[in-house]
Amino acid sequence: MILAIETSCDDTCAAVVTEGGEILANVISSQGVHDRFGGVVPEIASRHHLEGIGSVLDDALTRAGASFEDLDLVAVTCGPGLVAALLVGVASAKAIAAAHRLPLAPVDHLHGHVAATFLGPVPLELPFLSLIASGGHTLLARVSDRGPEFEVIGQTLDDAAGEAFDKGARLLGLGYPGGAALERLALDGDPEAFAFPAGRGMPGLDFSFAGLKTALLYRIRDLGEGETTRRRADLAASYQRAIVEALALRATRALEQTGLERLAIGGGVAANGVLRSRLRELGVPLEVPPMELCTDNAAMIGSAARFVEPLSYPEYLDLDVYASGERRFVRT
Ligand code: KG4
Ligand code: ZN
């Protein structure tokens, strides 16, 4: 049995997963205190992790009907993410593992998002193209084995797709994080009402979303307050379409270039219904993990841990965290 911990951003998560990929418990405590600041405040996130991690761990073990004695391995996200937040998870994992003389598997958060696809009774057949789109990352990777390293073939040069949703939502007066709220607002809007750049002119597999947010800002400024309020749904639908098109276009190119015949999607933006239907049109089997495995969770970290070389006691006592880390993810 694997006890997994994830605290890289603002969700305090613990899960119990079996070696075979069965989820026995997947506890996610979302902090919900950052919306008033319009984004995650690292020190506040860290303090909330500290306050919550004990009960989240208890809850996960209770739901799994397990005790520390049943565990074979402790897994934890070491990066990339907010350093102060990651430290809480890593310190907890070290303490539990050391106290029970268990091995510890250091897991990369992005390996976790890909490994969400390896859970469940019928994992997607290898190889496949993975599109990870979250609040912190947007990348395309060729997945030929179960990791921990994958070949990243495209990534964002500036904002992440989720960040683009969040920034757009903010400009439209929605709360943080705003992806889901923007999607709801867009339901009543016309995606063709406004033309926003989807990066069609940009060759290759990399993404850029910073210009899109600026285009929305200018459009809102041009329309003025009254007209913007009247046309908020149209703005949301058109803006969402541009993000979805940018993702779909590069996924299409990547499938063509690599010859891969399956596509898996992960990260919080994978919750977006318009994106899902657009990707289903690409003509290859699409794997979308259940919603609670798309957004940040510890079950995906437990899943990834199965394919990581574990460290034995006391090797992991000086294990460190890292803020950014494609170096750990890209096979060079
Ligand atoms: O994977 P995740 O939970 O955390 C990170 O690792 O960042 O992703 C959170 C991101 C946020 O930017 C949020 O706005 C976005 O996922 N998101 C959505 C939707 N639900 C969450 N974006 C678009 N449509 C949604 N329905
Ligand atoms: Zn994530």
For the stretch 2-29, pLDDT in tens is 999 999 988 999 999 999 999 999 999 8
Q: Evaluate: CB of 134 within 6 angstroms of ligand 1.
A: yes
Per the domain annotation, does 178 fall within a domain?
yes
Q: How many A from CA of 317 to the centre of ligand 1?
A: 33
Is the confidence at residue 272, as pLDDT, over 60? yes
Q: Which residue has the higher pLDDT, 330 or 287?
A: 287
Average pLDDT over residues 58-80: 97
Average pLDDT over residues 317-323: 94
Q: Residue 314 maps to which CATH number?
A: 3.30.420.40
Residue tagged 């902090």 (tokens)? 31
Regarding whether 82 and 22 lie in a shared domain, the answer is yes
Regarding whether 167 and 21 lie in a shared domain, the answer is no
Q: Evaluate: CB of 289 within 6 angstroms of ligand 1.
A: no
Q: How many A from CA of 122 to the centre of ligand 1?
A: 25
Per the domain annotation, does 332 fall within a domain?
no
Per the domain annotation, does 274 fall within a domain?
yes
In the sheet that 151-155 helps form, which strands lie side by side, from edge to edge? 151-155, 138-143, 128-133, 263-266, 286-287
Regarding whether 182 and 310 lie in a shared domain, the answer is no
**166 CA closest ligand 1 atom index:** 14
- What gap in Å lies between CA 240 and CA 183, rounded to an integer? 7
Residue tagged 């739901």 (tokens)? 63
Regarding whether 297 and 266 lie in a shared domain, the answer is no
CB atoms within 10 A of CB 322: 16
Residues with CB under 5 A from ligand 2 (ion): 134, 296
Whether 220 and 228 have beta carbons less than 8 Å apart is answered as yes
Regarding whether 132 and 198 lie in a shared domain, the answer is yes
Per the domain annotation, does 120 fall within a domain?
no
| Banded pLDDT at 327 (limits 50, 70, 90) | very low
Regarding whether 88 and 160 lie in a shared domain, the answer is no
| Banded pLDDT at 332 (limits 50, 70, 90) | very low
Supply the range of the domain harboring residue 11: 2-115+293-325
Whether 286 and 151 have beta carbons less than 8 Å apart is answered as no
Is the confidence at residue 42, as pLDDT, over 50? yes
Per the domain annotation, does 121 fall within a domain?
no
**295 CA closest ligand 1 atom index:** 3
Mind listing the pLDDT tens digit for each residue in 145-167? 998 989 999 999 999 999 999 99
Regarding whether 196 and 153 lie in a shared domain, the answer is yes
Q: How many A from CA of 135 to the centre of ligand 1?
A: 5
Regarding whether 280 and 190 lie in a shared domain, the answer is yes
Indicate the SS3 state at residue 154. Answer: strand
- At 56, list the tokens: 């989240």
Regarding whether 257 and 130 lie in a shared domain, the answer is yes
Protein residue whose Cα sits closest to atom 20 of ligand 1:
180
Give the chain's domain count.
2
Q: Evaluate: CB of 165 within 6 angstroms of ligand 1.
A: yes
- What gap in Å lies between CA 22 and CA 184, rounded to an integer? 33
Q: How many A from CA of 6 to the centre of ligand 2?
A: 10
Percentage of the chain exceeding pLDDT 70:
97
Mind listing the pLDDT tens digit for each residue in 188-241? 999 999 999 888 889 999 999 999 999 999 999 999 999 999 999 999 999 999
Q: Evaluate: CB of 133 within 6 angstroms of ligand 1.
A: no
Q: Which ligand is nearest to the CA of 30?
A: 1
Percentage of the chain exceeding pLDDT 90:
83
Q: How many A from CA of 78 to the centre of ligand 1?
A: 20
In the sheet that 2-6 helps form, which strands lie side by side, from edge to edge? 23-30, 11-17, 2-6, 73-79, 104-108
CB atoms within 10 A of CB 205: 18
Regarding whether 61 and 28 lie in a shared domain, the answer is yes
| Banded pLDDT at 331 (limits 50, 70, 90) | very low
In terms of Cβ atoms closer than 10 Å to its own Cβ (0-12, 13-18, 19+), residue 101 is exposed
pLDDT, residue 68, reads 97
Q: How many A from CA of 163 to the centre of ligand 1?
A: 8
Q: Evaluate: CB of 272 within 6 angstroms of ligand 1.
A: yes
Per the domain annotation, does 330 fall within a domain?
no
Q: Which residues contact 256 (CB under 8 A, 6 or more apart)?
A: none
Q: Evaluate: CB of 284 within 6 angstroms of ligand 1.
A: no
How high does pLDDT run on average in the chain? 93
Indicate the SS3 state at residue 146. Answer: coil
Of 39, 22, 23, the closest CA to residue 31 belongs to 39
**161 CA closest ligand 1 atom index:** 12
- At 240, list the tokens: 């969402």
Q: Which residue has the higher pLDDT, 241 or 45?
A: 241
Per the domain annotation, does 146 fall within a domain?
yes
Q: How many A from CA of 312 to the centre of ligand 1?
A: 35
Phi, psi of 25 (to 5 degrees): -160, 145
Q: Which residues contact 279 (CB under 8 A, 6 or more apart)?
A: 131, 247, 248, 251, 263, 265, 286
Regarding whether 211 and 131 lie in a shared domain, the answer is yes
CA dist 115 → 120, 147, 212, 289 (Å): 11, 8, 30, 10
Of 18, 133, 136, 29, the closest CA to residue 80 belongs to 136
- At 48, list the tokens: 């909330």
Mind listing the pLDDT tens digit for each residue in 166-192? 999 999 999 888 999 999 999 999 999
- What gap in Å lies between CA 11 and CA 34, rounded to an integer? 11
Question: Model-level pTM?
Answer: 0.92
Regarding whether 311 and 230 lie in a shared domain, the answer is no
Per the domain annotation, does 156 fall within a domain?
yes
Is the confidence at residue 329, as pLDDT, over 70? no
